[in-house]
Amino acid sequence: MARIIAIANQKGGVGKTTTAVNLGASLAASEKTTLLIDSDPQANATSALGFQKDPARRTLYQALILGEPIERITVDAKMDRLNLVPSDKNLVGAAVELVSMENREYRLKEAIAGIRERYEYVLIDCPPSLDLLTVNALAASDSVLVPIQCEYLALEGVSELLDTLMRLRRTINPSLAIEGILLTMYDDRTTLSKQVAADLRSFFGSQVFESVIPRNVRLAEAPSHGMPVLFYDIHSKGAESYIQLAKEVIANAQKRVGQGTERTDPGAGAAASAAAGAGTSPSTVAVGGPTRTGDIDGGNSAGT
């Protein structure tokens, strides 16, 4: 039975798609049958896996809105054990159309229920917002992986995301865990990167993955060649770091089986209080003040 992991952060450009594609490929390379669901209308994961724009290709839109079986939309991602549910810009429409649909938070969960047995991991690449596409991803998932870029203002928006996660846990998905917080675009030559990483670890503790993704030009180049970094330059630091992350994800799953527990409980609660406490720390990690969190019914963020 698949572990379903949403890769989410409403902040743009923090490495969600890079993580979805390269963690997906690294899990597949570790012989774990993996499905990557591109749930972002930007369709960056779809193109990073080498699928050019094609209006005839069916996408997640058909599954979410028209109820087509997801296996008919799933394509082979040109790598053993890695499949893809593609996206395209029509998915923008889904975010809006979902608002007036029955069961609007659970459409993705229902769509993938029948294929859970076929995979060991399902990764969902979310858009940079807390709209209904993200809510559907979080409702369908066992856990959420939050990439955070190692830069000034790294925590901006994270407390909002964690508030939303807690609210989701109270309402539509009580079992949603934190898979982990992932430090991305880390540059060990800068004091700022080191300071941000140290601060994030002191706020979030063991919820931060030990694996760190360095800033690495190969990771940025690989998508334009339509392939995961593993195929583009397997010896790059970027490839190594995602293989390491896949090992950590797999090891954590094995630990959970051993303990019969979620490693991240109390999960969002602890992380959110850590984020709240961060505001008082004399550190480089700035935290936004209390902000209105996204309504989990999508009412605010779908713009309607």
Contacts to ligand ATP by CB under 6 A: 12-18, 40, 42, 44, 128, 184-185, 213, 215-216, 219-220, 223, 238
Smallest distance, Mg ion to C-beta of residue 17, A: 3
Q: Which does 12 bind (CB under 5 to 8 A by kind): Mg ion, ligand ATP, none?
A: ligand ATP
Smallest distance, ligand ATP to C-beta of residue 184, A: 5
Smallest distance, ligand ATP to C-beta of residue 52, A: 17
Q: Which does 18 bind (CB under 5 to 8 A by kind): ligand ATP, Mg ion, none?
A: ligand ATP
Residue in the block written with tokens 């409403």? 10
H or E element: which one contains 83?
strand 82-85
Distance from chain centroid for Cα 9: 7
Measured from the CB atom, is 154 or 172 closer to ligand ATP?
A: 154
CA atoms within 13 A on the CB side of 191: 2
Q: What values do phi and psi take at 157, rounded to 5?
A: 90, -15
CA 22, 198, 158, 122 dihedral sign is positive
Smallest distance, ligand ATP to C-beta of residue 245, A: 11
Smallest distance, ligand ATP to C-beta of residue 230, A: 14
User: What number of chain residues touch Mg ion (CB under 5 A)?
Assistant: 3
Q: Is 16 in the site for Mg ion (CB under 5 A)?
A: yes
Measured from the CB atom, is 241 or 252 closer to ligand ATP?
A: 241
Helix (H, G, I), strand (E, B) or coil at 144: strand
Q: Are 146 and 8 in contact (CB under 8 A)?
A: yes
**Spatial separation of the C-alpha atoms in residues 46 and 98, rounded to whole Å:** 22
**Spatial separation of the C-alpha atoms in residues 125 and 140, rounded to whole Å:** 12
Q: Which does 26 bind (CB under 5 to 8 A by kind): Mg ion, ligand ATP, none?
A: none
Q: Which does 142 bind (CB under 5 to 8 A by kind): ligand ATP, Mg ion, none?
A: none
DSSP secondary structure of 209-231: EEEEEEP-HHHHHGGGGTS-HHH
Measured from the CB atom, is 74 or 216 closer to ligand ATP?
A: 216
Smallest distance, ligand ATP to C-beta of residue 24, A: 12
Measured from the CB atom, is 9 or 264 closer to ligand ATP?
A: 9
Q: Is 184 in the site for Mg ion (CB under 5 A)?
A: no
Is the peptide bond between 223 and the residue preceding it cis, with omega within 30 degrees of 0? no
Smallest distance, ligand ATP to C-beta of residue 21, A: 8
Q: Is 44 in the site for Mg ion (CB under 5 A)?
A: yes
Q: What values do phi and psi take at 148, rounded to 5?
A: -130, 130
Nearest to 35 by CA among 9, 63, 71, 64: 71
Measured from the CB atom, is 51 or 270 closer to ligand ATP?
A: 51
CB within 8 A of 174, min separation 6: which ones?
none
Measured from the CB atom, is 50 or 279 closer to ligand ATP?
A: 50
Residues at the site binding Mg ion, with contacts judged by CB under 5 A: 16-17, 44
